[in-house]
Structures are given as structure tokens and as C-alpha cells.
Structure 1
Amino acid sequence: MSTLIITEKPSVAERIAKALGKPKKHMLRGAVYFQVGDIFIVPAVGHLYSLKEKNSGFWSYPVFDIEWAPVYEISKDSEFAKPYLENISEIAKRCDFFINACDFDTEGEVIAYNILRFACKVDPKSDKVKRMKFSTLTKEAIINAYKNLIPTPIGMALAGLTRHFLDWFWGINLSRALTLAVRKARGYTTLSIGRVQGPTLKILADREREIQNFKPEPYWELEIIVKKNGKKVTGKHINGKFWDKTQAEKAKNNCSSKAVVKKILSKRIIQTPPCPFDLTTLQTEAYRIFKITPQQTLEIAQNLYTNAYISYPRTSSQKLPADINFREIIKNLSKIDEYSNIAKELLSKSELTPTNGKKDDPAHPAIHPTGVIPEKLNSKEKKIYDLICRRFLATFSREMVKESRKVELVSGKEVFIIEGSSIIDPGWYSIYRYAKVKDEEIPNFNKGETLEVIKINLLEKETTPPKRYTPSSIVREMERKNLGTKATRSQIVEI
């Protein structure tokens, strides 16, 4: 009995083949495939089938009569896919058992489902077809998935197929409707719209209207500058903003040349470690820290995954299940100089329990390093890998302890507040320095002491309009409104 394993790309096929044995590498029609005994590991190159009109000889609207066809028949740009599809069709004739080893998500199911029914001529729902489920491409994960095959998740495949049909109907028909409308009005122009693209554009347009219609309002702030231990310290009026200039000036005139410390409030703040990354939070952090766009982050993370350095990135989960061998991963990371001391400290713990977030994904865990040491990374890959590793390690660390202090001063009849905070124990922050942590130390004050007032400033300011969306903030908003999928949101932003 011969087995055909279908993968989503050649690099994954090679990694699976090497995990299963000593593969023979073959080239057929210029496309690669691998053989381990009677097992054939044959790659696709993403989607080998796409939707098209049945009668595509002329431009019409609306269109509802569509069918699946090989991508190279639809677009000349996809001619490269032809030998891969022909290889699968030919090798499938020699096989009587089929395994889907594409990415375990809706798109991976669609890719394999179409290949199985059209190229392999086999029913994806039959007993001849099984599924490998893995979240990392380490040898151990691949062997475990091969030994524990699961039935085809038909629901996931049908969900993906349905989304493709809906995207096509919405995208093509609305785009053609818009194009016809514009042509009738002012000439020939092609416009595009889609089921996700349209609502996303509305979010952007609504924000732009808010900005354009915004009318700034003036307000005033009162700040006090006092001398403490020879240094200047600034405080703000307890009222915050004054919307009436007369009231602000009156408050300023009520102040004297001295200020007395009336209250000192101290509070200890415990901050738990951050949870591990899902795709959206990884994209958000990468843009905030490195200005790497969400789409670039996804592409980099996908490459790190394909090389078995991190787990599957297209996940909504912020949880690390207990069946992951955390200790082994951290032990391997200790071989990297940057993480050596961190890993040693964590490995000294009797138990390793991560801080998990609220979001979950039944298909894949949160993004984490696999423990496979990267051989060579470019500068952006290093940044994303370091971000993922430090976030992962920080989830096992101790809490950060801070102290916040609020000092209340009275000058004349007016009350001012000086606020500050200091880190007592950095805890996880010593590992994940990328986090935003407010740390503004202020001098030690004594209740009842009198301070010299250097200056009272009356600051005139204006309210500001809402900020325009950034590539990362629009992806966050799309997720909040459930627009698109974790894998497609960044692509929509690039349009």
C-alpha cells in the first residue's frame, strides 16, 4: 500500500520527509517531491485551484455561475503551479491512502480538499483520507502527528470553501457594479471592493470624517514647579483641565510663593507577566516597537515556522497548553547567549507554569519558540524571533512589583498633585523590556514640609482630533469587529 502525503509548500514537504526517514529527492517536470519507502511526500505551492466564471469569455454583471479550476488556467502568473499539480495527479494514481499535511486551518483544508477531489480523484470524506495535525515542524511533532492521524475535519473545509464562494460573489459583483457606475458617470476606471475590504474602508472613512469635522476647543492647565533637594519637580492642578480661562487665571492668582505637603499616598502595584502572543498581538507589538507592518510580520513568522523555529503563527490563542514540553524548550534556548542567564533562572524553578491570556484557538496554541536553534536569520527575522522568545520566557517569570506615589501640595488656596512611580522588583520586565512601563521616580517628600515655589505656569492647549489608524491599530479594530480572518486581515491592509 502506497501513501501520498500532501503538503502546502516544498520546504514543509522536505521537513516532513526528513522526519519520517531517509528520503529520496526526485524532480519531475521541474517540481520536487520526496519518497520514503512507499510514502510519497508531494508539495503544492499554496492554492492550486481557484474560482472562475464558467463562461468567462465576456465581461458581465452579476455573476453567480462559477466553478473551481486550476490556477494556471485562470492566470498566466500562476503557470509555476502547473508541474506541482501534474505531479500530484500522476503520483496519486500509484497510491491508495492519502494524508493531508497542509497547515491546520481553513485555508489549509481548502487547499487539500480541492487537490484530493480534483487531482487525486478521491473523496476527502472517505476512509482513504486522513489528517496530520501539528502546530510545529519539529521532528517530534511531525512523527507524533503521523502516528496519530485524525479524520478529515470536513466542517473546517466546508467553512473555507463557503468563504471562498462568498468572497468571490461579493468581491467580483460589487467591484463590477462600482466599475459600471463610475464608467457611466465619468469614464473608464476599474474599482475593487470586497466582503472585508468594504467594511474596513468604511471604518477608515468614518475616522477620516471625524478628523475632518473635528473642531478643536481651547483649554488651560495649571502646573506648579517646586524646588526639592536642589532639583525642580513639577506638579499639576488637581482639577486637570480648565475650560474657562478666567477660572484658570483666578486659580493661578490664588497661589503663593510657598507650597505645603498635605498628603502622601503610596501604593504597591503588582503586574503579572504578559500572556504569550496570538497573531494580532504579535503584529501589534512588532509595529509598535520595530515599525514592521502586520503583513511583513506574518510573512516573517511564517518563514520562522516553516524552518521549525516557532509554532504555527496563524493562531488566535493566548494560551500554552500543559502538554508542551516547556522545560525542554527553555533548556534549548539556554544555548543562545542572549537567553542563557534567563533560561538558567527559569529552569531552577520546580514548576514552569505560563501566564495564559483569555483568547483560545482549538486548532493551535499561542505562538512560541520550538527550541530549534536558528542557523541564520536576517535583521527583521532576528527582531521577530527575539520578540517571540522573550515574550514566551517572560510568561514563566515572577510578577513585577512597582510603587506608585501621589503627593498633594497646597499653594495658597490651590491644590496640586505630583505623581511618580518606581520599580521595586522588575520580575518579568527584566526579560521582556519591550513592554510599556511607566517609571518616573520622584524625590521623597515629608508630610507638612514647606517647599519653595519656583514658578506657576498657565498652559494654553487645544483638544486634538482622533488619531488616524496605523497598520497595526486597524488590524486590531478588524479583529474587534470580527472582520476577516487572522490570516487575511494584514493582506486587506496592504490593498
Structure 2
Amino acid sequence: MVELIISEKPSAAEKIAACFGKPTLKRLNGVKYWEVDNGRILIGSAVGHLFGLKKTERFYPVFNLEWQPSYSGKGASFQRPYFQTLKSLGKKADTVTVATDYDLEGEVIGLNIVRELLGLKDANRMKFSTLTSTELQEAYKNKAKTLNWGQANAGVVRHTLDWYYGINLSQIISKSLSVVLNRYQPLSIGRVQGPSLAILAEREIEIKKFKPEPFWQIFANLWLNSQKFQAVHEKDKFWKKLDADKIFAKVKDKSGRISEINKRKQKVVVPVPFDLTSLQIEAYRIFKYSPAMTLKIAQTLYTKALISYPRTSSQKLPKALNLKKIISKLGTNPTYQETAKEVLATRLIPKEGRKSDPAHPAIHPTGERAGTLEDPVRKVYDLIVRRFFSIFGQDGERETTTIKLDIEKESFKFAGTITTKVAWQKWYGQYARRKENELPQLAVSQVLKQNTELAAKETQPPARYNVASLIKLLEKQNLGTKATRSQIIETLVKRNYIQSNPMEVTD
């Protein structure tokens, strides 16, 4: 009996082969594959989708489609050797096991290889969330006897709907615009691309229609221990300049007396584990990496077996992961040794979020040795590791002190906020830093000198979306998938529908 195991990418095939012990590297059509157990197990690889939907009728609208090899498409000729190699290996095999990524896209990739390339109706299925040898061995041992048909059918439906929307609507809008312009002007639209662009266009319309309104604010500028603080009149915005002028003249450069001091403590809650969207948002906040760049880096870390599968919407870490073992392995890295030791001294109960994903847990490090990583990859890996540590911590605490200042019976307020308890933030390191604005020791009835400022301002239009805020909104409105949202934004940029960041819709 010969078994063929099919992975989604060559790097994953190599990891799967290695988990069996001492695989033998072979080549066919210039493509690598591996043999194990004296040739009784063959491990081959696709390079993403080897099949794509093509129309079988000439005129639009088109609703008759079929799966055809992708290598005939523009820029896809590199796929042909992989196609041919898997076909040849399939002829030798008595059984087939699909070991592509365990999500909708991976299921469709596996389904098409099994059905369209090998001519089979079904296959075994491996399920794994990391490419570590231990998990791959378990996935092989416990492989299902059938594909995940729920995922497979859902993936096929999504591809089909994307094609119906994208190709047919693109043809319609291209023809309509070409008639108006009296020349052919190709345009593209899609099931998710269209609504995403509409969100941005609607915001652009809001901005262009916005009419600013003038208002005035009165500030009392204070210098306390050589640090500037700014107290604002309790009314905040004055919509009539005459009202602002009267109070400004009344309080101008007059000393004020502290009438109240209020302190309020607030928790700094432990963060939850990363899912893909929150990782993309956090990497943008800290490093200004685009969501697409973050996903690419996370995929690299996954194929190196350093993190779990990144295309997940889960914020949960099941006990079966053996979190203690992961932390202990991370502790063998001198960079994380001290933090790992502190985390291991806790009860090891992770903070979890609401979101779950039946296919994969939250993004987490595997504990495997990282070795030397390129700077952007190292930064994202460090962010993931430190976030993982921090979810085992306790809530921190911040304290805000609000001062009420009386100037000629007019009330002004200013405040300062400091961290009073560092807890999980210590393990999250530089990524948890917040601005500290500490007030000096002050007392009720204390007199403070000030110089007064009357500032003329106007209301601002709603802000344009940046890549991170748009990704967050798309997820909230259930547009696209965790894996495709960043790609949609990249597509809108490439097609010159939007530009810059924050994103502005082009004319």
C-alpha cells in the first residue's frame, strides 16, 4: 500500500516529511517530493490553488463554470510542474491524505486535487494548527477518513459567488462606463470589494459635504514644576465668540484657586490572545505594518513552525495545547528566560476572548527555537510571544487625578494620569507603554498662577479610515474573511480606486 500526502506549499511538505524521521528527498519535473518508509509514504506539494473557475459559455452574464488547471493563466505557468508531479505520484498511490491548511481555502485546494487531478471522490484529512513535528505526528495518527465536506462545500460556494459577482458585475460596469466615455474603460468590482469601496466612498462624501463650524475654547496655561499643564474651561466649546470674549476678559491672567481634587482608579485589563484581525491592528499600531504585510510575516512564522496557524478568528487557547510546555520551551531563549520563569510561577490560567474558531486556536508561539530572523519577522514574532506571556498576568491599574480650578468664579479643569500598578504590562514590555502625565503634589485652596489663552477652532470632518480601522470595520460588518480582508485593501490600491493611508477614494 502506497499513501500520498498532499500539502499546500513546498515548505509545509518538507515539515510533514521531517516529522516521519528520515525522509528521502526526490525530484520529479524539477519539483521536490519526499519518500518515507521505503516509498510506502509519498509527500508532495501544491503551490496554492492548482485549479480555478473558468466560464464555459461565451456571452455575459455567465453562470456556467467549471474548474480548470490554473497553470494556463497569466503568470501561473510555474504551477504546471507541481500539477504534473502530483498527478504522477497519484498514479502510484493506493490512498491519498490531504494535509493542506485547515480552512476553506485549504479544503478547496485539497478537494480539487483529489477530484479534478486524481479523479477520486474523497480522501483522508489531516488537521493541524502548527507545523511542529509533535502536532503533525498526532494529526497523521488521528487523520479523518474523509475530507471536511462542510468546509469544502462552503469554499466552493464562496468561490462560485465571487466569480458570479466579480466577473459579471465587472463586465456590466465596464460596458456602462465605456458607453459614457465613448471608449473602452475596464473596471472591476467584487462581492466584498464593492461594499468595501462603498464604505470608503461614503466616508469621502461625508468629508466633502462637511461644513466646519467655528467655536472657541479658553485655556488656563499652568507651569507646575517646570512642566506645562493646560486647564480648559468647564464649558469646553463656546459657539458664540461674544460669550467666549466676555469670560476671557474676566479671567485673563488672573490666579486661580484649587476648589476640588478627585482621584479615580481604573483597571488596565489583561489583553486576550491574538486572532488574525487583532494581530494586524496591533502590528499597525506599533510598527505601522500594513495588514497584508503582517499576514505575510505571520505566514512565514507559521511555515517555520514558530507560531500556530495565523488565519484564525479564535481568541481561545484550549488546555490540550500544553501551555506550560510551550512557556518552558520559550524560556530556553535568553531573551524570554526571565519572563517565562515569572509566568510559570503563576496558575497558568490564560485570559481568553469571546471569539472562537472551530478549526484553529488563537495565534500563539510554539516554543520552537527561532534562530536568526529578519527584522520585520523578528518584531512580529516578539509581539506574538510577549502577547502570549501577558495573557497569563493580572490586571494593571491607572489613576487619574482631576483638578478643578476656580478663576474669578469660572471653573476650569485639568488632569494627570499615571500607572499605579504594573502587572501584565511588564510581560508585554514596550508594547504596553502608555503616556504618563504625573501631576505634582497639589492641595485644595492652593493658588496657582496662569496665563490665559483664547483659541479659535472649527469642527473637523469625520476621519478617513486607515488600513487598521477599515479591517476592524469589515470584520464587524462580516465583510470578507479573516484571510481576504487585507487582500481586498491591496486590490483597491492596485486598481487605483483608493490612495494614501488614511485612505482617500480617487476620482
Query: What is the TM-score normalised by the length of structure 1?
Result: 0.95
Aligned to 2:60: 61
Aligned to 2:386: 390
**How do 1:237-386 and structure 2 match up within 5 A?**
237-255=233-251, 257-349=254-346, 351-386=347-382
Aligned pair partner of 2:43 in 16, 41, 61: 41
Aligned pair partner of 2:172 in 169, 172, 177: 177
Aligned to 1:214: 210
Q: Cα–Cα, structure 1 residues 132 and 184, in superposed 2: closer, same or farther, change >3 Å?
A: same
User: Which SS does the other structure have where 2:75 is aligned?
Assistant: helix
> Do 1:223 and 1:458's aligned partners in 2 also have CA atoms closer than 8 Å?
yes
> Do 1:395 and 1:428's aligned partners in 2 also have CA atoms closer than 8 Å?
yes
> Do 1:274 and 1:355's aligned partners in 2 also have CA atoms closer than 8 Å?
yes
User: Which SS does the other structure have where 1:387 is aligned?
Assistant: helix
User: Which SS does the other structure have where 1:90 is aligned?
Assistant: helix
Aligned pair partner of 1:202 in 191, 194, 198: 198
1:159 aligns with 2:159: no
CA distance in 1, matches of 2:114, 2:43: 14
Aligned to 1:29: 29
Amino acid at match of 2:367: G
Q: How many aligned residue pairs are there?
A: 485
> Do 1:479 and 1:486's aligned partners in 2 also have CA atoms closer than 8 Å?
yes
Aligned to 1:116: 114
User: Which SS does the other structure have where 2:26 is aligned?
Assistant: strand
CA distance in 1, matches of 2:7, 2:402: 60
Runs of 4+ aligned residues of structure 1 deviating over 6 Å after TM superposition are none
**How do 1:457-476 and structure 2 match up within 5 A?**
457-476=453-472
CA distance in 2, matches of 1:312, 1:330: 18
Report the CA distance between 1:70 and its aligned residue.
0.7
How many percent identity over aligned positions?
45
User: Which SS does the other structure have where 2:351 is aligned?
Assistant: coil
CA distance in 2, matches of 1:228, 1:466: 35
Aligned to 1:51: 53
1:441-464 Cα offsets, whole Å, 9 max, x none, are: 11121122222x221111111111
Query: Unaligned stretches of 5+ in structure 2?
Result: 492-507
User: Which SS does the other structure have where 1:434 is aligned?
Assistant: helix
**How do 1:78-157 and structure 2 match up within 5 A?**
78-124=76-122, 129-150=123-144, 151-157=146-152
Report the CA distance between 1:431 and its aligned residue.
2.6
1:229-255 Cα offsets, whole Å, 9 max, x none, are: 565532111122111212222222332
CA distance in 2, matches of 1:94, 1:446: 86
Aligned to 1:18: 18
CA distance in 1, matches of 2:160, 2:386: 41
Aligned to 1:70: 69
> Do 1:254 and 1:413's aligned partners in 2 also have CA atoms closer than 8 Å?
no
> Do 2:55 and 2:64's aligned partners in 1 also have CA atoms closer than 8 Å?
yes
CA distance in 2, matches of 1:153, 1:279: 22
Structure 1 range deviating more: 189-198 or 316-325? 316-325
1:416 aligns with 2:412: yes
Amino acid at match of 1:478: L
> Do 2:390 and 2:425's aligned partners in 1 also have CA atoms closer than 8 Å?
yes
Report the CA distance between 1:226 and its aligned residue.
3.5
1:144-188 Cα offsets, whole Å, 9 max, x none, are: 111111242101100000001101111111111111112222201
User: Which SS does the other structure have where 1:163 is aligned?
Assistant: helix
Aligned pair partner of 2:425 in 429, 439, 447: 429
Report the CA distance between 1:289 and its aligned residue.
1.6
Amino acid at match of 2:319: A
Q: Cα–Cα, structure 1 residues 178 and 119, in superposed 2: closer, same or farther, change >3 Å?
A: same
User: Which SS does the other structure have where 1:431 is aligned?
Assistant: helix
> Do 2:222 and 2:230's aligned partners in 1 also have CA atoms closer than 8 Å?
yes
Report the CA distance between 1:291 and its aligned residue.
1.6
CA distance in 1, matches of 2:82, 2:227: 72
Report the CA distance between 1:135 and its aligned residue.
0.6
Q: Cα–Cα, structure 1 residues 225 and 184, in superposed 2: closer, same or farther, change >3 Å?
A: closer
Query: What is the TM-score normalised by the length of structure 2?
Result: 0.93
Structure 1 range deviating more: 429-438 or 88-97? 429-438
Amino acid at match of 1:22: K
CA distance in 1, matches of 2:456, 2:32: 69
Amino acid at match of 1:394: S
Aligned to 2:485: 489
Report the CA distance between 1:94 and its aligned residue.
2.1
> Do 2:256 and 2:450's aligned partners in 1 also have CA atoms closer than 8 Å?
no
User: Which SS does the other structure have where 2:336 is aligned?
Assistant: helix
CA distance in 1, matches of 2:256, 2:71: 79
CA distance in 1, matches of 2:298, 2:290: 12
Report the CA distance between 1:472 and its aligned residue.
1.6
Report the CA distance between 1:376 and its aligned residue.
2.3
Q: Cα–Cα, structure 1 residues 231 and 116, in superposed 2: closer, same or farther, change >3 Å?
A: closer
CA distance in 2, matches of 1:385, 1:231: 38
Report the CA distance between 1:326 and its aligned residue.
1.6
Aligned-pair Cα RMSD in Å:
1.5
1:409-438 Cα offsets, whole Å, 9 max, x none, are: 111111111211111222122232324634
CA distance in 1, matches of 2:74, 2:214: 59
CA distance in 2, matches of 1:231, 1:166: 60
Q: Cα–Cα, structure 1 residues 230 and 384, in superposed 2: closer, same or farther, change >3 Å?
A: closer
